[in-house]
Chain A
Amino acid sequence: MLDCTPDKPLTEGAHTTGKINPIKTCQPVGAMYAALGIHGCLPHSHGSQGCCSYHRMALSRHFHEPAMASTSSFTEGASVFGGAANLKTSIKNVFAIYDPEIIAVHTTCLSETIGDDIPTIIKQSEIPEGRYVIHANTPSYHGSHVTGFSNMCKGIVSYLAESDGGEKKERANIFPGFVNPGDMREIRRIVTEMGVPSIMYPDTTGVMDSPMRKTYEMYPRGGATIAEIKESGNSKLTLSLGAWSSDEAAATLQAKCGVPGVPLRIPIGVRATDDLIMAVKEGFGVDVPESLEVERGQVIDTLIDTHFQYEGKTVAVFGDPDILVPLTEFLITMGMIPKYVVTGTPGNKFEKTVNGMLEEAGIEGSRVKAEGDLFDLHQWIKEEPVDLLIGNTHGKYIARAEDIPLVRVGFPVFDRAVHPLMPIVGYRGCLRLIEMISNALLERRDRDSLDEDYELIL
């Protein structure tokens, strides 16, 4: 397994070009996922049909759900003469055949490179009364799938959010970041538990974790409605979760409708969840209910009860920056040593933020990298191994090659069941992470132990 990866560390500068086993993919898949978080929305991929096919495939494999989206189906002609005709025809056909409330167009490398002017094309298109077409520019040669998610979130705000100029309502907007529907449900529950009404978007709950009913619904009952999104301009504040995935949308909403954004981390781990709760408490002057205090207490209790199972263990973490930042912080809280922290998404602030946390915790000798890949990570692990890997499904090859347990967190997780429905955010998410990490390490210990060391009682 991955036997072609050299045993000895490469000399500095041996692998500097391109990506080998990437930890990122391209913008449109993020844009498509964000668009699916609007109720009645059909995402539309403006480019050749392979992109749309690949993105639907990736989303369906991760969520085990339909991921409907249409495409402009470019052939060579459109690539030469421009894709305006294809997009106009698409918009007309999509409304006529699939009857969505809104079409969310995103671009591909192809339409970006030929320079199609999407807003102008949309203006020239036939859009039925009361229906919407919005767009985001998502060239794949910039950023990552996280950037695409962020760009579509920003597009949703720019096109739809409105302020009536009146007094702001005692209500929170939640921009949940690039997380699973299970996480979105949990974030919303926490805010609701505190007695604060909220509007969340994108909201893929009910869409990418939709229940089995008797009939197929092309537009499942979940997602944020257009009315809700419009109304978000009248909310008192926006909880913007995840700097990479949500901050631009929050800044746009602040500029457009005067709703202040509170930048927060995605609430993974005790501290980041505490921060979310404090932001709601302070923003709305509400008390923290006993139910959340109980949940928090359970996490602290569990950390104390189980610390010896993982404390001092080294861990390599890889994935999206908005997940990695709070996750690394939680691993530090658990007493673990994040030895390697790698994201594929570009951006210097990632390294600065994570290095800052490590420094504060007095952890030395760790490697932190933005725009990295799994080949880098594998090389480092060969040089100095770790006890545990945390990241997406693609880590399973390194896990097997180096015989290290893998806890699956992030996007995509193709090869495990139920994953997108179960949250890793909030205090309940803390318990789940502790459960996954502890059990992975205990399983390994059981597997490796001699007969005489095989234990029954912990």
Chain B
Amino acid sequence: MTTDLNVDELLAPLPDKVRKNRSKHIVKKDPSGGSCPQIEANTRTVPGIITQRGCSYAGCKGVVVGPIKDMLTITHGPIGCAYYSWGTRRNKARADERTPPEQIYTAMCFSTDMQESDIVFGGEKKLAKMIDEAVEIFHPRAINICATCPIGLIGDDLSAVAKAAQERHGIPVIHYNCEGYKGVSQSAGHHIANNQIMERIIGTGTEKVDGKYVLNILGEYNIGGDTWEIERILGEIGYTVGSTLTGDSAYAKIKNMHRAHLNLVQCHRSINYIAEMMETKYGIPWLKVNFIGIDATIDTLREIARCFGDEDLIARTEHVIERELAAVTPEIERCRKVLKGRTAFAFVGGSRSHHYQFLLRNLGMEVVVAGYEFAHRDDYEGREVIPTIKSDADSKNIPELHVEPDPEEYRPPHLHLKMSKEKYDELAASGILNDYKGMYPDMVDGGIMIDDANHFETEELVEIFKPDLIFTGIKDKYVTHKMGLPSKQIHSYDYSGPYTCFRGAVTFAKDVAHSLSTPAWKMITPPWEQSGTGGD
């Protein structure tokens, strides 16, 4: 890949201030090696720019706490925010031995529907009453309360309302001050949700979690059933999944998450805070994983086995890999024939733009431009830059939890992993635990990383790189189509999925092959406009 992108030229048509700002958000992968140049991320969007970003509320309720199936989540605010975060992320959830169908609230939408008078006189009474009614009608195990923009402005004291309701009803009522204007994107909301889940839920359970090797899967939202495919594979190897955070997860399980032996982190951006806090508080190590892509899944499974170092586990891992691989290889090879040599852009999520590069590589494709909407520098550059990230006025608004080792529950990591201190030290020295190297090392040489990409830049980059396909969300999807490029939604999968592990790779490969090969792409020019022998 040798496209010679001149960032200044790309941004030339922008007003001076905007150009100066945006040029810091674009980094090219240097083919001569070296570490990632600094990229500007998690800073405010230029007003007026058509950004794909959402807000703190979207990150907190929409992404993290909304999918917890047995918690009734009330959005405190006017009607819109609850409405738009209702069912749109396809976080699948089902009843199981712990959670009966009548305690699953994920298909429901609860809003205090604040009116003008509530804005003037305050909405605390209304919220308290709605909680009372909800408890009376639905008998939930626990309740979430998520704030919207006006709440912070008018000064409703969510904490006091939640506390009083908790005392009245004897169930946890957890509030999230995730007003939309906090921070600069969804990311602030993830952090706020992480803090409350850590402080109020994890560690409050007293149940023993059965299983020799208990894993939590953090930052996995079960879109299109992704989690279930991961759980199937892990289960066949011999692991027990204690809980996910938060796809198909239940309050009843999250509270016992501190009993796990290892935390797997799928989406680094949305959940790394909890992984880190659990490491400090309980001594549970974490492993950055990726179940998107066949090779990535294999590497991940081997790394998990390595973390425990049990020979049986390693053998079963290899057995499952071999069997699953044999089952999907012929179909993957067929799709590869169609997809080989194609290029793509990936503008999604806080980890997906990285994860999907592995799967696409399995299919013979390469991502040439990748970006995140709401990442921080560490998602691009790796965690080693975290100490050097300067907090600004926007990031300072998000409270940091101070966590210390739990006097009762803390155990050193080697005990969690059931190995000797020496063996653990060896493992730790290998660097796979508690670390994430970011997207940069896996970018193709000459490829572009772009933070908070906007519509103007996307159009320009399409002109330059002429990709075959764009992986994106709904707001970009149809724009891309009109440009004559196929697109796949990697937030919600266009009704498809799961895309995880081996079987998911086949589903994805077929979907992508269909996106590219749909006959309609060749029919855009009508016959009467075709010159000579026709075809376009």
A-side residues, CB < 8 A to B, are 1-4, 6, 10, 14-22, 24-29, 44, 47-51, 53-58, 60-61, 64-79, 86-87, 89-94, 96-98, 108-110, 113-114, 139-142, 144, 210, 212-218, 344, 394, 397
Contact = CB atoms under 8 A, between A and B. Distances in A.
Contact of A212 (B77, B86, B154, B481): B481
B234 interface: no
A29 B477 CA distance: 19
Interface string B142-167: 00000011101110000000000000
A49 B454 CA distance: 13
A61 B50 contact: no
B389 interface: no
Contacts of B393: 75-77
B474 interface: yes
B13 interface: yes
B429 interface: no
A67 B475 contact: yes
Q: Determine the interface band of chain B, counting residues with CB < 8 A from chain A.
A: 35 or more
Interface stretch (B112-120, B280-288, B293-301, B348-356): B112-120
B133 A89 contact: no
A397 B101 CA distance: 14
Contacts of A210: 482
B44 A73 contact: yes
13 contacts: A17-B133, A22-B111, A25-B80, A28-B80, A73-B51, A75-B181, A76-B394, A94-B48, A109-B80, A140-B78, A141-B114, A141-B119, A216-B479
Residue in A26, A54, A216 whose Cβ sees the most chain B Cβ within 10 Å: A54
B18 A93 contact: yes
Nearest to B77: A109
Contact of A26 (B78, B103, B481): B78
Contact of B79 (A16, A24, A78, A213): A24
Nearest to A63: B478
B484 interface: yes
A212 B486 CA distance: 12
Residue in A20, A28, A57 whose Cβ sees the most chain B Cβ within 10 Å: A20
A86 B459 CA distance: 25
A4 B136 CA distance: 12
Contacts of B52: 53
Interface string B72-110: 001001111111111110000001000011111101111
Interface in B470-513: 473-475, 477-479, 481-484
Given A21-B108, A48-B180, A214 B78 contact: no
Given A71-B47, A110-B181, 17 more contacts: A14-B133, A21-B86, A22-B83, A22-B111, A48-B149, A54-B80, A54-B84, A64-B478, A68-B50, A73-B49, A75-B181, A79-B152, A96-B15, A113-B150, A140-B77, A141-B78, A142-B115
Interface stretch (B54-62, B239-247, B270-278): B54-62
B184 interface: yes
Given A25-B79, A26-B83, A114-B153, A212 B51 contact: no
A92 B104 CA distance: 48
A91 B525 CA distance: 37
B482 A93 contact: no
A142 B114 CA distance: 8
Nearest to B482: A216
A140 B138 CA distance: 27
B51 A57 contact: no
Contacts of A215: 482-484
B137 interface: yes
A20 to B, nearest CB: 6
B15 A92 contact: yes
Interface string B366-403: 00000000000000000000000000011001000000
Contact of A75 (B95, B152, B183): B183
Contacts of A25: 79-80, 83-84
Given A61-B474, A97-B18, A19 B51 contact: no
Interface string B233-258: 00000000000000000000000000
Contacts of B55: 48-51, 53
B109 A20 contact: yes
